Amino acid sequence: MIPVTAASRLRFTVNLSIVFGGLPPAERPAAAAAAGFTAAELWWPFGAAHLPSDAQVEAVRRSFTDAGLRLTGLNLLDDLERGERGTVSDPAQRERFAESLDIAVDLAASLGCTALNALYGNRVPGVDPAEQDELALENLALAARAAHRIDAVLLIEALNSAESPRYPLVSAKAAVDVADRVDEVTGLGNARFLCDLYHLARMGEDLPRVIGTHADRIGHVQIADSPGRHQPGTGDVDFDDLFARLAAAGYSGFVGLEYRPTTAGPAAFDWLPRPLRAAR
């Protein structure tokens, strides 16, 4: 169990798409609520091939409201479970991405969500990387403006090259640099770094240094132990130290649990005292 002294100054949310991935999507919010959580985040829940119907969006919304959960983070158009890593730099998804923004923003606004995660996208074979980067900046600026309509931040995330070998942002600096460029284009100042400690650990980054260097750019934090991507306590990451550093740096956002539990049911959260699962 994580010492309360470090974790009690932070707010926790749980990623339904991975932590409760073994359940049907409609059942995941209720399962999170039963485990003591009052807030949850989602990968894009509709797949990327087709935009969702009004009924599909309403079903997601109702599953949250019925469970009494607040949505704290939503990935934009993507299909992570099928190997996509975002669509903002994919020319084939250009129109669909733009069309999906109103859906994402409306769903987020209705559930109190103020953080939208726009994964950069894999490199596409046969497409010039410079062309992808230009499109990504255009789409990220579009997404930042859409997020601004609901006073939300746009998150830019670094992944790890072992699991996402075609994803170009694999360091904290690379993600922060992109967020800075988006802010320069829009002038809105709402592009932020999604500090996923698992991915950064897999890349061998100095996690205390990342927090110390980029604390003012962090808009959201996600965690899983490394190696393995399981719950804290199963790997080598010193979460007590990192939580203390985040709190000391004045981080006031959410810490998203984005891991694959090694055990089913309530035991997957034994490391986090139940009172701390209720986001304040």
The total domain count for the chain is 1
Q: Which residues contact 179 (CB under 8 A, 6 or more apart)?
A: 154, 156, 191, 192, 193, 217
Q: Examine the residue annotation and report whether 258 is marked as an active-site residue of this protein.
A: yes
Where are the extended beta strands (E) located within the chain? 11-15, 39-42, 70-75, 115-117, 153-157, 191-196, 218-223, 254-257
pLDDT at 2: 55
Judge residue 221's burial from the number of C-beta atoms within 10 Å of its C-beta, 0-12 exposed, 13-18 middle, 19 or more buried.
buried
Domain with 15 in it: what CATH number? 3.20.20.150
Tell me, what amino acid is at 160?
A: N
Distance separating alpha carbons of residues 74 and 42, to the nearest angstrom: 5
CA 89/CA 76 separation, integer angstroms: 13
Q: Which member of 41, 84, 205, 258 is catalytic?
A: 258
- What's the sign of the alpha-carbon dihedral 65, 66, 69, 72? negative
Q: What residues form DSSP beta bridges with 75?
A: 117
Per-residue pLDDT of the chain (280 residues; tens, 9 = 90+): 555 566 778 999 999 999 999 999 999 999 999 999 999 999 999 988 889 999 999 999 999 999 999 999 999 999 987 888 999 999 999 999 999 999 999 999 999 999 999 999 999 999 999 999 999 999 999 999 999 999 999 999 999 999 999 999 999 999 999 999 999 999 999 999 999 999 999 999 999 999 999 999 999 999 999 999 999 999 999 999 999 999 999 999 999 999 999 998 888 999 999 999 998 6
Question: What tokens appear for 241 in the block?
Answer: 């130290």
Backbone angles phi, psi at 38, to 5 degrees: -115, 0
**Cα 129 from Cα 207, distance rounded (Å):** 29
Closest C-alpha among 64, 1, 39, 28 to residue 277: 39
Q: Is 99 a catalytic residue?
A: no
Helix 207-214 and helix 172-186, axial crossing angle in degrees, nearest 10: 20
Range of the domain at 151: 4-277
pLDDT for position 82: 82
Exactly one of 41, 84, 157, 205 is catalytic; which is it? 157
pLDDT for position 3: 52
Which pLDDT value is given to residue 255?
97
